Structure 1
Amino acid sequence: MALQQLKFEFKVNNPIEFSHEWRHHGVVGSGDLEILMEKKDLGGAVQVQVVTPVVGFDKVWGMVLEKIVKENRLGNISIEINDNNATPIVVSMRLRQALAEAAKDVRKEV
């Protein structure tokens, strides 16, 4: 099975940054995916790399990821997604779970 690598970059006004250097969420498995997030100085941008066996869904990936970035006003973060045939709703759910975990950690620090 050949894997393809997709790369995206998004930028929003007044982005919110993570306080932690990195975050991991999810497990690659049947119909699931893994998300790795790393805080980086990207001039306020978000860079996303998707490794997936599914071909032809570049536009769908872009729309799902852009929606998450805009809704959460993310910035200065690098996201790596290792996909194992997850549906767009699973991708969205896993990203929201990872962001919720990051938010919990921020609240603990305060």
Structure 2
Amino acid sequence: METMIFEYPANEKLGQTAHVGVVGSGDLEVLVIPSNEPRIKVEVRTGMTGFHETWERVIERFFYQHAAQANIQINDFGATPGVVSLRLAQALEVSGQYERS
């Protein structure tokens, strides 16, 4: 099991907590908890070792476009980068997207 933590600056508030996906073959779950801190903190837990650079690129690319102030937990079971981006987008949609202050 490998755990990775990534942090990026953020300035967009989220409306509510969100949970999408399931940990299962080729999939993952994402838990989004809104934060008041000006950053995104992403914790990835995966059973697939050796993919730190890939995870970093996928997460960085996604949050370059979505500056959500949140703590995000991703529990992975072999999801592809496309599935990761899809689940993150779904989680932001469920969270009410952004509430502008």
| Greater relative contact order, per chain length (Cα 8 Å cut-off, separation 6+) | 2
After superposition, give the CA deviation of every residue in 1:73-109 in whole Å (9 maximum; x if it has no partner). Answer: 222x000000001011110111111112223796xxx
Q: How many residues align?
A: 99
Q: State the one-letter code of the partner of 1:81.
A: I
Name the counterpart of 2:48: 54
- Picking from 11, 14, 32, the partner of 1:18 is 14
Name the counterpart of 2:72: 79
Consecutive unaligned residues in structure 2, runs of 5 or more: none
Change in CA separation of 1:18 and 1:104 when aligned onto 2, cut-off 3 Å: closer
Q: State the one-letter code of the partner of 2:27.
A: D
Deviates more, 1:31-40 or 1:97-106: 97-106
Task: Give 3-state SS (helix, strand or coil) of 1:103's partner.
Answer: coil
Give distance in 1, aligned partners of 2:36 and 2:91.
20
Structure 1 or 2: more strand by fraction: 2
Name the counterpart of 1:40: 35
- RMSD of equivalent CA atoms: 1.7
Name the counterpart of 1:9: 7
Consecutive unaligned residues in structure 1, runs of 5 or more: none
Give distance in 2, aligned partners of 1:101 and 1:19.
9
The alignment's TM-score, normalised by the length of structure 1, stands at 0.81
1:90 aligns with 2:86: no
Calculate percent identity across the aligned residue pairs: 36
Q: Which has the larger radius of gyration?
A: 1
Structure 1 or 2: more helix by fraction: 1
